Structure 1
Amino acid sequence: MSEQRRIDGDRTVQVTVDTPEADRAVVACPPHPQMGGTRSDPRLRAVGESLADRGIACLRFDYGPWDEGEAERRDALNVLASARDRYADVGLFGYSFGAGVALLAAAESEPAALSVLAPPATLGDADTVAALETLSCPVQVVFGERDSTVEWEPVAERARERGNVVEPAPGDHFFAGQVDRIGESVAAFLSP
């Protein structure tokens, strides 16, 4: 069961909430909006479905107007703040560009747990590896073994050095044929 919400802040964002009647939630940041990334992304939907199977809400949202990552990070922070008003524990997930957004947002407002899929080493001028340094919550980094779309290696390497969970997955940046497996892995990590 899903529900549509609108979250107002300095920008209004549209949110789909999978399993809205839950005690815990995960905010899911979509991939690059200028490359067609939306809250309907198959990887976000797979995470939402796997979380729903565990009785955890998933808030998948669309960014407001393009702002090269800065306002998109604020969008994630606004959805995170709204989720904290409703749910006891709130985790954070992001894929690709959304993984960079999630890392930067987590550094400002630490979630209960963070999972990133195909995280870029930078987002505009922001260093996502440096953002990782500030976190004390559980962190999972998942990357495609043949991903040549983003520079995920520095994030995975630093996460491994920090003792975070680092998982390679077969495939490239889009995880064709692996989406359900990715959804299960992320949901299992984000579930207590």
Structure 2
Amino acid sequence: MSEQRRIAGDRDLRVTVDTPDADRAVVACPPHPQMGGTRSDPRLRAVGEALGERGVACLRFDYGPWDEGEGERRDALTVLASARDDYDEVALFGYSFGAGVALLAAAESDPEPSALSVLAPPSSLGGADTVAALDGLSCPVQVLYGENDSTVDWEPVVLRARERGDAVESLPGDHFFTGQVAGIGESVAAFLTE
């Protein structure tokens, strides 16, 4: 079961909430909006479905107007803050551009999300260093990446996550994880609900 919401603010945010009647939630950041990334991304939907099977809500949102990553980071913070009004515990997930947004938002969020999972994370977003954002986190972190991903520069994030002792999972394939979407949803949901 899903419901549609709008979050009022300086940017118009539209949110799909999978399994809204829950105590815990995960905010899911979509890939690059200028490359067609939306809250309907198959990887985000798979995470939402897997979370729903565990009785956890998933808030998949669309970014407001393009703002070079800065406004998109603020959008994630806005959805996180809104989710905290409705749920006892809120974690964060992001894919590709959304992984960068999630890393930056998690580092800035007060309080931090209960956990963070990123799939195909870029090493920077606009002028912001996502590796440095990772260094500031104390919540549990999961990093998943495609072994043949040549779309984003994921290596620095993976290296730093391994040094920190975070959960790191390599997946065969490229940036789009064809044929692996359901498994990714399960892996992310399992990590975020432990």
Q: Do they fold alike, i.e. is TM over 0.5?
A: yes
Matched, 1:146 2:164: no
Query: Which residues of 2 match residues 52-67 of structure 1 at below 5 A?
Result: 52-67=52-67
- Structure 1 unaligned residues grouped into runs of 5+: none
**TM-fit CA distance, 1:148:** 0.4
Aligned match of 1:174 in 169, 173, 176? 176
Distance 1:130 1:137 in 2: 15
Q: How does 1:61-100 map to 2 (within 5 A)?
A: 61-100=61-100
Q: Please state if 1:51 is matched with 2:44.
A: no
- In the alignment, what sits opposite 1:3? 3
- Partners of 2:94 and 2:9 in 1: how far apart? 20
**Cα separation, 2, equivalents of 1:27 and 1:151:** 23
Question: Structure 2 length normalisation: TM-score?
Answer: 0.98
The one-letter code of the counterpart of 1:156 is V
Q: CA deviation at 1:8?
A: 1.2
Residue 144 of structure 1: CA displacement?
A: 0.4
Q: Provide the aligned C-alpha RMSD in A.
A: 0.4
Offset, 1:65: 0.3
1:66 Cα deviation after fit: 0.2
* CA shift digits 1:47-101 (9 cap, x unpaired): 0000000000000000000001000000000000000000000000000000000
- Over residues 74-129 of structure 1, what are the superposed CA-to-partner deviations in whole Å (9 max), with x where a residue is unaligned? 00000000000000000000000000000000001110000000000000100000
Q: Secondary structure at the match of 1:81?
A: helix
SS of the aligned residue for 1:37 comes to coil
Amino acid aligned to 1:92: L
Deviation of 1:170 (Å): 1.2
Instruction: State the 1:9 CA deviation.
Output: 1.8
Of the three residues 159, 174, 185, the one matched with 2:187 is: 185
Alpha-carbon distance between aligned partners in 2 of 1:112 and 1:8, rounded to the nearest angstrom: 24
Aligned residues: 192
Q: CA deviation at 1:181?
A: 0.5
Superposition TM-score, scaled by structure 1 size: 0.99
Identity of aligned residues (%): 81
